[in-house]
């Protein structure tokens, strides 16, 4: 007998057809910061959702984090600055989802919010950017390197104690402009952000994780929704990338177990080698003195609990090595 398409017996593209022909369904509104990188990231998620038949619009917002470019992030209230205003838009229904660089998402979200999914990771490494010098090793004694990241400062000091490290804030274009104006001999930025904005040609070299361990979540995007928005959680499920999700869960578990503060240098990076998740972490004193404490571990991580347990084990090793818990 010929099987006719019906809700009980859908053709392969049934989902898509009904979605496209259902004008009653409102679009998914993405709350986003208005930096070029944030807009690229929101647009990327928009495209992925549109490819799956959803209608999507963007709601651009300026956050406190974007307005306070003159002071170091750790002094004005930390990473939460970039996400709070987007969460307010989700709370009052102006928007449905927020797209974040996972690196900027606090370890514990406020009550009522969840990460619906983590997308496949871009290059997690840090990039060396300079017009005059090809690599960190080529910088002359005492050269000036721009970065405000406590993690990058601590790791750079370990590699090249002679360098002068100066603060550098602002969005990617601002940071590159300050380099081009001659304020620095070189700067260090996440490779992922540069690549996303088509600025990969500015990368003179990438630091391998053994030399400069990335920050927890670096290079990955996460999508935040209000807890209970099961409709959105289901719509977003196809965008999730399991390996990235487990690796970044292990990394974030290290940060959480160390207190989640962004006023101490902390690096955590995990990747799968076969079925084993290999996790490395490094911790430095908040005042930037003293040697780095390093730890690593590996485990077969098939689920979230195992990945988080690995992160906690590695954090425990950091503490055994002298690292201190510092609440955010
Ligand atoms: N701290 C700001 C920030 N948050 C995310 C990225 C880059 C993209 C990413 O890591 O996903 C950057 C810029 C940088 O660190 O150079």
- DSSP run (H or E) holding 304: helix 304-320
Q: Tell me the catalytic residues.
A: 104
Q: Which of 100, 211, 235 is nearest to 156 (CA)?
A: 211
Establish if 11 belongs to a structural domain: yes
Coil vs helix vs strand at 64: helix
Q: How many domains, the chain?
A: 3
CATH number at residue 184: 3.40.190.10
Establish if 213 belongs to a structural domain: no
- Residue of minimum CA distance from atom 2 in ligand 1: 104
Establish if 212 belongs to a structural domain: no
Q: Which of 72, 104, 190 to mutate to test the pocket of ligand 1 (most atoms within 8 A of CB)?
A: 190
Establish if 187 belongs to a structural domain: yes
Centre of ligand 1 from the C-alpha of residue 129, in Å: 14
Tell me the per-residue pLDDT of 211-263, one tens digit each, with 9 for 90 and over.
Answer: 999 999 999 999 999 999 999 999 999 999 999 999 999 999 999 999 988 78
Cα–Cα distance for residue pair 35/72, rounded to 1 Å:
18
More confident residue, 83 or 10: 83
Q: How much is the ipTM here?
A: 0.96
pLDDT at 207: 98
Question: 98 and 4 in one domain?
Answer: yes
**Neighbouring-strand partners of residue 221:** 101
Question: 99 and 34 in one domain?
Answer: yes
Question: 109 and 225 in one domain?
Answer: yes
Q: What is the pTM of this model?
A: 0.89
Establish if 133 belongs to a structural domain: yes
Question: 60 and 190 in one domain?
Answer: no
Ligand 1 shell residues, CB under 6 Å: 101, 103-104, 189-190, 192-193, 218-219
Main-chain phi, psi angles of 4, to 5 degrees: -85, 140
Q: Which domain holds residue 24?
A: 1-120+220-240
Cα–Cα distance for residue pair 271/251, rounded to 1 Å:
10
CB 281 within 8 A of CB 268: yes
Residue 70 has pLDDT above 70, yes or no: no
């Amino acid at each position: 007998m010929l099987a006719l398409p019906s809700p009980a017996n859908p053709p392969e593209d049934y989902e898509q057809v009904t979605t496209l022909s259902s004008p009653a369904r409102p679009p998914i509104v993405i709350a986003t910061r208005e930096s070029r990188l944030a807009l690229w990231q929101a647009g990327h998620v928009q495209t992925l959702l549109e490819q799956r038949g959803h209608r999507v619009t963007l709601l651009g917002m300026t956050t406190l984090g974007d307005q306070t470019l003159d002071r170091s992030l750790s002094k004005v209230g930390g990473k939460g600055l970039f996400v709070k205003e987007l969460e307010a838009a989700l709370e009052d229904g102006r928007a449905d989802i927020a797209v974040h660089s996972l690196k900027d998402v606090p370890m514990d979200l406020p009550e009522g919010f969840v990460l619906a999914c983590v997308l496949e990771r871009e290059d997690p490494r840090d990039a060396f950017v300079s017009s005059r010098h090809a690599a960190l090793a080529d910088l002359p004694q005492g050269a000036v390197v721009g970065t405000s990241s406590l993690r990058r400062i601590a790791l750079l000091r370990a590699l090249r104690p002679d360098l002068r490290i100066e603060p550098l804030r602002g969005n990617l274009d601002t940071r590159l402009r300050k380099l081009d104006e001659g304020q620095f001999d070189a700067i260090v930025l996440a490779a992922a952000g540069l690549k996303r904005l088509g600025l990969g040609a500015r990368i003179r070299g990438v630091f391998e994780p053994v030399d400069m361990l990335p920050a927890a979540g670096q290079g990955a995007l996460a999508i935040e929704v209000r807890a209970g928005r099961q409709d959105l959680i289901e719509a977003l499920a196809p965008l999730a990338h399991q390996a990235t999700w487990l690796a970044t869960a292990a990394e974030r578990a290290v940060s959480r177990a160390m207190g989640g503060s962004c006023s101490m240098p902390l690096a955590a990076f995990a990747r799968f080698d076969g079925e084993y998740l290999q996790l490395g972490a490094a911790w430095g004193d908040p005042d930037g003195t003293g040697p780095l404490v390093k730890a690593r571990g590996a485990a077969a991580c098939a689920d979230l609990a195992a990945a988080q347990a690995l992160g906690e084990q590695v954090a425990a090793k950091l503490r055994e090595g002298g690292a201190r818990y510092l609440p955010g």
